[in-house]
Structures are given as C-alpha cells and as structure tokens.
Structure 1
C-alpha cells in the first residue's frame, strides 16, 4: 500500500515547496493556498492521519510541532505581534489531507475566532 500524500512528497523533496524548517521529526513549509500573509504548515515527518491518532507513543509530536511554530515566529520576527496555530481534525473540522498538520498564521490582525 502506498501511503504517500502531498505532505510526504514535500518532506522527501519529491515536490518542490519552500521548506522553512526541517529536522528528523517535523517539516515546516509555506502553504500553497495561504489564508494570511504568513501561512506555514508544520507536519510530522511520519504519517499520523489526524490528531485523533495521537497516542501514548507519539504524543510528544504535538509539543514538537508547537515548539517549531514558536521558533519560526521568533525567527521571522512576528511572535510579538501575535499569531494563530490551528489543527483541523477530519472532514467536519476542515481537514482535507489525512496527515496531521498545524497551520501557523500571522502577518496581519486575525479576526476573533471564538
């Protein structure tokens, strides 16, 4: 069974994308359809289909993803203005690719969400 998706192809550099950050655990790259001036996706390098698939063995990946978002916000100097991180889950939550991913949004005033 081929489990590749667009994110795994970006991680493996089979598809060209502007990678912002990459290490052994996560990859961060610019969203192809940005919803704000800064829109970066942070994904685990191993496929985890959604946040519902987080378990005792892989639970640290969420912290790694959040810490990566903070590092990027500091590196590109928008952490003081503020930003939003979002994880969509499954169809009703707006997740369109079955690979856990965190959206890092910033660069403008984002409307109130809740």
Structure 2
C-alpha cells in the first residue's frame, strides 16, 4: 500500500485541510510555497496515465476539492497554482495521483 493510501485510510497522520467521501486534502510535509496542500482520491489511481473513463468523476472532484482547499487556506482570491505531475520524468515521486495546491507567494513561469 502506498503512503498516500495509508494517509487516506488514516494509518498515517496528516494535517487535513478538507475531506469528503471521495477525496482528502492535507498539508504537504515538504512545502514549496507558504501554502502547499495535496489533494488525493481515497481510491488508489497511480497517475493520469493510468486513469480510465471510470475515473472521470473522481478526477473532477480532485479539481473542485483543490478550489475548496484554496478557499479554506485563504489563497483563493490572491491566486494559486494547481499542479499534477505525471510520471517520474515530470517529477512525480508518489505514484498515487495528487493535485498540488500552492499559493501565498508569486509563482514564476515556466515552473522549472
């Protein structure tokens, strides 16, 4: 079982920002911005490349939950970045799909 599955199952503690029956969002333990949370589905999906048409609803829930996290953490009005890395070459290090929600500082482009 991956580390994010263990967080979703409450086997590993996390600082939860938002949760419903399908997704959970928690603060990143290695933040790259003043506000940095991760939104994950409670059901394991390794990444975008592994998502199927049956995952359509939960993928939409991830983005709506990201918006909710931005609201709850106070970064929605000033602007925030959402990032989904897909594969090791893109920077994905935990192979359980997740959306980074980052804000609280200006974000440069390209991200690097």
Q: Fold conserved (TM > 0.5)?
A: yes
The match for 1:89 is 86
- Mapped pair 1:13 → 2:10: yes
More helix per residue: 1 or 2? 2
- Mapped pair 1:25 → 2:25: no
The answer to whether the 8 A contact 2:35-2:73 is kept is no
Q: Deviations over 1:62-92 (max 9, x none)?
A: 2101101111212222111100000001111
Kindly report structure 1 stretches of 4+ aligned residues shifted beyond 6 Å.
Answer: none
- Distance in 2 (CA, whole Å) between partners of 1:64 and 1:45 is 11
SS for the counterpart of 2:26 is: strand
- Unaligned regions of 5+ residues in structure 1, if any? none
Between 91-100 and 53-62, the greater mean CA deviation after superposition:
53-62
The match for 2:98 is 101
- Distance in 1 (CA, whole Å) between partners of 2:63 and 2:108 is 21
SS for the counterpart of 1:47 is: coil
Shift in Å at residue 13 of structure 1? 1.3
- Distance in 2 (CA, whole Å) between partners of 1:91 and 1:39 is 20
The match for 2:57 is 60
Normalised by the length of structure 1, the TM-score is 0.92
| Alignment: residue pair count | 111
- Unaligned regions of 5+ residues in structure 2, if any? none
The answer to whether the 8 A contact 2:40-2:62 is kept is yes
Q: Deviations over 1:37-77 (max 9, x none)?
A: 01000001000001111211111222101101111212222
